[in-house]
Amino acid sequence: MSQRRPLIAGNWKMNCLRTDGLALARGLSDRAKAKGDLACDILVCPPATLISDVAGVTAKSAVKVGGQDCHVAVSGAHTGDIAAPMLADIGATHVLVGHSERRADHGESSTVIRQKTMATHDAGLIAVVCVGETEQERDLGATLAVVNGQIAVSVPDEATAENTVIAYEPVWAIGTGRTASVDEVAEVHAAIRAGLTARFDDGDKFRILYGGSVKPSNAAELLSVPDVDGALVGGASLKVDDFWKIIESCA
């Protein structure tokens, strides 16, 4: 593991009603309190309906809470959307932006994602900017060009290692049980690091997470890859035991 403190982030996606979500948050927060000194930062990103209550449950623990998306504007006539200052107002400290499901389901371009990243920063929150290639792009040998192209546009010039985290998530590995190999992850993370250090003064300090079917059985191996500074976890973040085992893989 690098000198960068790892971040283990859970993306609950559109899962959990109140009872399950609060039990999950309470389970994690209790374990974090009992453990005391942790080897990583912990973030959970519940559906918007639960952010406020989850933030209440985790307030006295090391578990941080984030949104899964935000609008580019601070307020206005945007029915159904949520502004970054609203997320901050209810206790969020982070926002996931540009998740591949947002890019696919809502047609979000890297240009829109840059605006959302800037809105996140303006609200004083940390943006977790997600990037990743499709299977077709990988088969064409375009992975590094796609990922670096997404970062070049999605991450604004004013970004710093303090307010921005990158999450590399190959689309073909998300929710499929297929994980990128250690060599594939190492190659992409090294290329992302090279791009960040070329562009930003503190490029060596940005955390770069890997995501895509991270689970207790593969977390330690993935987290030992150079330039992997944590994980963005979907399915396995919905069970306290599984997510906690991934957290404990950061030794």
Catalytic residues: 99, 169
Of the two residues 151 and 200, which places its CB atom closer to ligand PGA in the complex?
151
Query: Can residue 234 be called a binding residue for ligand PGA (CB under 6 A)?
Result: yes
Q: How far apart are CA 194 and CA 147, in angstroms?
A: 12
232 makes contact with ligand PGA (CB under 6 A): yes
Is 11 a binding residue for ligand PGA by CB under 6 A? The answer is yes
d(CA 235, CA 218): 14
Least distance from C-beta 99 to ligand PGA, angstroms?
6
For ligand PGA, which is the closer residue by CB, 200 or 242? 242
Please report where in the chains the tokens 């029915």 appear, as a residue. 79
DSSP letters, 3-54, are: SSPPEEEEE--S---HHHHHHHHHHHHHHHHHH-S-SSEEEEE--HHHHHHH
CA 206/CA 15 separation, integer angstroms: 29
CB of 34 to ligand PGA, least distance (A): 25
User: Stretches 16-24, 144-152, 182-190, 210-218: which one binds ligand PGA (CB under 6 A)?
Assistant: 210-218
Nearest residue (CB) to ligand PGA, 16 versus 214: 214
Alpha carbon distances (Å) from 244 to 9, 28, 216, 240: 11, 7, 8, 6
235 binds ligand PGA (CB under 6 A): yes
Enter the tokens of residue 94.
């982070």
Residue 21 touching ligand PGA (CB under 6 A) = no
State yes or no: residue 127 binds ligand PGA (CB under 6 A): no
| Closest to 114 measured CA to CA, from 165, 157, 67, 65 | 157
* Interface pick for ligand PGA out of 21, 46, 67, 211 (rule CB under 6 A): 211
Binding ligand PGA by CB under 6 A: which of 67, 132, 212, 230? 212
For the segment 143-182, give every residue that binds ligand PGA (CB under 6 A). Answer: 169, 174-175
Cβ proximity to ligand PGA: between 6 and 235 the closer is 235
Contacts of residue 139, Cβ cutoff 8 Å, sequence gap at least 6: none
Interface contacts to ligand PGA, rule CB under 6 A: 11, 169, 174-175, 211-214, 232-236
